[in-house]
Amino acid sequence: MALLKFRRKDDAQTGGILPEVEAFLKNYSIEVMPRTAEKVENFRDLLPEGTRVYIAHIDGTAIEDMVATAKRLSEDGYRVMPHFPARIIKDEATLADWIARYQGEAGIDQALLLAGGVAQPVGDFHCSMQLLETGHFDKAGFKRLHVAGHPEGNRDIDPDGSDKNVMDALRWKQSFSERTDAQMALATQFCFDAKPVIEWVDRLNAEGITLPVHIGVAGPAKLQTLIKFAIACGVGPSLKVLQKRAMDVTKLVLPYEPTDVVNELALHKAANPGFGIESVHFFPLGGIKTNANWAIENGGDSAIPANQQ
């Protein structure tokens, strides 16, 4: 399949794309669900070949729908990374079955392991560490395993508002990464402010946690939509960025775009090459097409380097 050439805004429209931003967005990834993917007639009209596409597994979605979406995207030339939410997986037999289906029907060898959005586990697993400990991904030869990161903490994991349990889990995952051949990274919740993200990544480094960070960014969307998702997903202090914007009547009706947070992180990364963010992961809360167009128009290129495939 030929690599498609995508339109970008010209200098007259954008004032020029910052080279730092273009470099920062170079290997971005994006998330879809089976029901949102069904609405896309042709992903090749939206996403560059080789883009890593996560498939979110929401409770109630049939594994058959997940595998069918993975197969479609894989056949279209994308690097597919389905979610494995621990709390909706009944037992090891179910886990092994899912892995076998993804491999056998869609050729998948990458996965995002996370606890999942349900409060009570349906079976034997409650966290991603338990999934890793089964050894099933290693036996199946999965080459890349991502796990969740929370730059602003997570009240489900640390109800007291600290980050003690979150940090303990990250130390465990760092240790696991050092005794496995799989390439690992942290895929994070989305944030709207660069400052807490920078502080968190710097703290990881100070704690000896060197897993690359794939920072979550909410794509363009209506402000009301973002606030709803942010509250539901437990976004922390950076939610104030949206609340402040909502108080400005001149901005209330305008769609949010992640330009400010991406620019600030990109400039920080350029000034600090050792900074731990490896790439951007988009949550297309305002639609896949809208998000894909924004990424392209702002210099995004998802040709993933060989060491990150």
- pLDDT digits (tens), the chain, 309 positions: 333 444 444 433 445 688 999 999 999 999 999 999 999 999 999 999 999 999 999 999 999 999 999 999 999 999 999 999 999 999 999 999 999 999 999 999 999 999 987 889 999 999 999 999 999 999 999 999 999 998 877 667 777 777 888 899 999 999 999 998 889 999 998 888 899 999 999 999 999 999 999 999 999 988 777 766 555 655 555 556 665 655 554 455 557 899 999 999 999 999 999 999 999 999 998 999 999 999 989 988 755 555 566
Residues 6+ apart with CB under 8 A from 270: 20, 23, 24
Q: Give the predicted TM-score (pTM) of the model.
A: 0.86
What is the pLDDT, as a whole number, of residue 239?
A: 56
What is the pLDDT, as a whole number, of residue 306?
A: 52
Rounded to 5 degrees, what angle do the CA atoms 260, 264, 269 make? 150
User: Got the DSSP string for 135-146?
Assistant: -HHHHTT--EEE
Asked whether residue 216 is domain-assigned, the answer is: yes
What is the pLDDT, as a whole number, of residue 6?
A: 44
For residue 135, the enclosing domain spans 18-308
Number of domains the chain contains: 1
Quick one: which of 128, 124, 66 has its CA closest to 98? 66
Which residue do the tokens 């060491």 mark? 307
Q: Which two tokens stand for residue 51?
A: 């883009």
Quick one: which of 39, 43, 33 has its CA closest to 66? 33
Asked whether residue 201 is domain-assigned, the answer is: yes
What is the pLDDT, as a whole number, of residue 226?
A: 73
Asked whether residue 33 is domain-assigned, the answer is: yes
pLDDT tens by residue, 112-149: 999 987 889 999 999 999 999 999 999 999 999 999 99
What is the pLDDT, as a whole number, of residue 224?
A: 73
What is the pLDDT, as a whole number, of residue 255?
A: 78
- Packing angle of the helix pair 63-75, 92-106 (nearest 10 deg): 30
What is the pLDDT, as a whole number, of residue 12?
A: 34
Q: Which two tokens stand for residue 17?
A: 């794309």
Asked whether residue 12 is domain-assigned, the answer is: no
Asked whether residue 13 is domain-assigned, the answer is: no
Asked whether residue 7 is domain-assigned, the answer is: no
Asked whether residue 80 is domain-assigned, the answer is: yes
What is the pLDDT, as a whole number, of residue 131?
A: 98
What is the pLDDT, as a whole number, of residue 309?
A: 60
Asked whether residue 193 is domain-assigned, the answer is: yes
Domain with 292 in it: what CATH number?
A: 3.20.20.220
What is the pLDDT, as a whole number, of residue 294?
A: 94
